[in-house]
């Protein structure tokens, strides 16, 4: 499994939080090299922080201060990162439907359903997915594609068996088809899922809270269902189960830290996930810049800025070698020239997309989101000696991702088919290979 190092850059003109230092603030939020122990991860993160400070243009901010700035908004980051793209596609599909552009609406809503389904391991709310499926079914029915309409409505009924369509807002023929689908799904029978997890863990089925473990969830329509179990400290387990009529699926998941969604299997998917995660993180942390850093292929690393204010990415600084931490530290120094004196990206340093990182290989960042500090508490921040908290280096090892086991096998996947390596210190200005 590849390693990835993630760093969040915070750009604040005047650096009031930095205790008077000039330049863009850069917050180090984790070192993610597979197989390193906590001490080695902390040392790698510290090396990146030193590299940032040594540029003379960037100021490193420790992870505990980033956690403090995000306090109370971690769930918004997760929602924005993993449901944001699906929400946007749903809104676009709804507008296209209202404009009677049904073919385009159908394609866009299919994307929305796919993105929101992908987000189920990180989601505890199924309302967007249900809305997207309803819109998909309605659009398909409008163009005479009854098979697709029925398939979408079947998914709605499996997720939400009590859902009915209001005849005030839906046409008579649409309501009739939906009601027939409800009857057909009910005729297939129901089953149950027995979840034997640690006591008190919350059990979500298809994005809906059903109670706390140990728990037997009854009356589930026969068919596929998604089960998410969330325990203390952000530990989670996610499973896909096939419920059979009259049967009872048995689950005994082991909850692990750092579980969100599986990494994309292609460069394009990983680039999208990276963009979503760091974009949401930068937005809700009120940051000027986000620094993406990590492996994009065997022996190859990439570092890149993202600017939430404009939605732009910087050009990618890519390096190859045998020491990932050294290569990434060198890359961070190389990015300093892409930022102007105000802490913004220079116009000629803009690139259209994110580097394809494996978002599951940043345990400190995942711990930051899934194990938030209580609101009103926090570490000592730059220029503030009145607060005390956990030293930042303790968090370098928080949220170690477990791989293996039936319920966690897909938690963290390899970056796989990353691009070929280039010369050390290469600036990539065109499409990534």
Which residue carries 């009590």 as its tokens? 162
Determine which of 25-39, 56-70, 101-115, 166-180 has the lowest per-residue pLDDT on average.
25-39
3-state SS assignment for residue 400: coil
Determine which of 216-225, 362-371, 423-432 has the lowest per-residue pLDDT on average.
423-432
Contact yes or no for 181/157 (Cβ under 8 A): yes
The pLDDT assigned to 421 comes to 35
Contact yes or no for 161/221 (Cβ under 8 A): yes
Closest to 317 (Cα-Cα) out of 345, 292, 340: 292
Is pLDDT at 20 greater than 60 in this prediction?
A: no
Contact yes or no for 249/193 (Cβ under 8 A): yes
Domains along the chain with CATH numbers: 7-67+285-398 (no CATH), 74-187 (1.25.40), 190-251 (2.60.40.10)
DSSP 191-221: EEEEE--STT-EEEETTEEEEESSEEEEEEE
The 10 Å Cβ neighbour count of residue 113 is 22
Closest to 381 (Cα-Cα) out of 372, 371, 392: 392
Give the tens place of pLDDT for each residue, 219-262. Answer: 999 999 999 999 988 889 999 999 999 999 999 999 987 777 88
Can you tell me the distance from the alpha carbon of 416 to that of 136, in angstroms, rounded to the nearest whole number? 32
Q: How much of the chain, in percent, has pLDDT values that exceed 90?
A: 39
What are the beta bridge partners of residue 15? Answer: none
Can you tell me the distance from the alpha carbon of 154 to that of 84, in angstroms, rounded to the nearest whole number? 24
Angle at 383 between CA 379 and CA 388, to 5 degrees: 20
Contact yes or no for 290/279 (Cβ under 8 A): yes
pTM of the entire predicted model: 0.74
- Residue 131's Cβ-count burial label (10 Å; 0-12, 13-18, 19+) is middle
């Amino acid at each position: 499994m590849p390693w990835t190092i993630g760093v969040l850059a915070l750009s604040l003109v005047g650096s009031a939080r930095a205790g008077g230092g000039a330049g863009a603030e850069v917050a180090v939020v984790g070192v993610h090299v597979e197989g390193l122990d906590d001490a080695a991860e902390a040392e790698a993160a510290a090396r990146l922080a030193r590299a940032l400070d040594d540029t003379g243009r960037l100021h490193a901010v420790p992870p505990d201060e980033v956690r403090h700035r995000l306090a109370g908004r971690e769930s918004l980051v997760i929602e924005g990162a993993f449901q944001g793209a699906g929400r946007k596609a749903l809104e676009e599909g709804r507008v296209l439907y209202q404009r009677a552009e049904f073919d385009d609406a159908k394609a866009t809503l299919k994307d929305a359903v796919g993105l929101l389904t992908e987000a189920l391991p990180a989601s505890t709310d199924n309302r967007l997915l249900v809305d997207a499926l309803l819109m998909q079914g309605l659009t398909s029915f409008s163009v005479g594609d009854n098979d697709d309409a029925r398939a979408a409505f079947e998914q709605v009924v499996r997720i939400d068996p009590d859902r009915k369509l209001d005849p005030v807002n839906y046409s008579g023929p649409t309501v009739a088809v939906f009601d027939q689908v409800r009857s057909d799904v009910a005729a297939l029978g129901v089953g149950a899922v027995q979840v034997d997890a640690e006591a008190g863990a919350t059990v979500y089925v298809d994005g809906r809270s059903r109670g706390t473990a140990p728990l037997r969830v009854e009356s589930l329509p026969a068919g596929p269902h998604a089960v998410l179990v969330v325990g203390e400290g952000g530990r989670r387990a996610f499973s896909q189960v096939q419920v059979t009529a009259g049967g009872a699926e048995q689950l005994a998941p082991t909850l692990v830290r750092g579980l969100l969604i599986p990494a994309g299997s292609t460069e394009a998917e990983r680039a999208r996930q990276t963009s979503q995660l760091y974009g949401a993180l930068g937005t809700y942390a009120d940051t000027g810049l986000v620094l993406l850093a990590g492996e994009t292929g065997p022996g190859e690393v990439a570092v890149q800025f993202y600017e939430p204010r404009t939605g732009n990415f910087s050009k990618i600084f890519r390096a190859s070698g045998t020491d990932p931490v050294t290569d990434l530290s060198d890359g961070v120094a190389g990015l300093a020239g892409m930022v102007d004196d105000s802490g913004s990206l220079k116009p000629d340093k803009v690139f259209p997309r994110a580097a394809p990182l494996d978002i599951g290989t940043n345990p400190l960042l995942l711990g930051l989101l899934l194990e938030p500090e209580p609101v009103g508490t926090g570490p000592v921040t730059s220029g503030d000696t009145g607060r005390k908290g956990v030293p930042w280096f303790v968090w370098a090892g928080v949220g170690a991702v477990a791989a293996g086991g039936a319920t966690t096998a897909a938690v963290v996947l390899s970056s796989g088919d990353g691009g070929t390596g280039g010369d050390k210190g290469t600036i990539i200005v065109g499409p990534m290979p």
